[in-house]
Structure 1
Amino acid sequence: MEKLEFLIAHVEDLRNKLETQEKANKALKKEVKHIADEQQKWKGAVAVLKSERNRDEQSKLNKNVIISGLPKIKENNEENLNTVFRISEKLEVNLTKEVVTCKRIGKGANSQLKVMFENEELKKKFMEAKKKTNLNSSQPGFVEKHPIYINHELTSENQLLFKNTRDFKRQYNYKFAWISQGRILLKKTETGRNIEINTEEDLNKLIQKN
Structure 2
Amino acid sequence: MRLLRRNKRDQLIKASKSRRNVNSSDLDVPGKSYKVFYNERLTKENRMLFRETRTKAKEHDYSYCWVTQGNIFVKQREGKAAQPVRSFDDLARIFGI
TM class by smaller structure? 0.7 to 0.9
Give the counterpart letter for 1:136 in structure 2: N
Aligned residue runs from structure 1 range 98-117, under 5 A? 113-117=1-5
Instruction: Describe the superposition over 1:68-88 as per-residue Cα deviations: whole angstroms up to 9, x where unpaired.
Output: xxxxxxxxxxxxxxxxxxxxx
- Look up the SS of the partner of 1:185 in the other structure: strand
1:197, distance to aligned residue in structure 2 (A): 0.5
Looking at both structures, which has the greater relative contact order when contacts are Cα pairs under 8 Å and sequence separation is at least 6? Answer: 1
Structure number with higher helix proportion: 1
The structure having more radius of gyration, on CA atoms, is: 1
TM-score, normalised relative to structure 2: 0.81
Residue of structure 1 in register with 2:23 after alignment:
136
Match for residue 149 of structure 1 among 37, 45, 61? 37
Q: Which runs of 5+ in 1 are unaligned?
A: 1-112
Q: Which runs of 5+ in 2 are unaligned?
A: none
> Within 2, Cα distance between the matches of 1:157 and 1:142?
36
Instruction: Describe the superposition over 1:170-199 as per-residue Cα deviations: whole angstroms up to 9, x where unpaired.
Output: 211112111122211111121212211011
- Superposition misfits of 4+ residues, deviation over 4 angstroms: none
How many residue pairs end up in the alignment? 95
**Are 2:84 and 1:196 aligned?**
yes
State the identity %.
Answer: 26
Give the counterpart letter for 1:160 in structure 2: M
TM-score, normalised relative to structure 1: 0.41
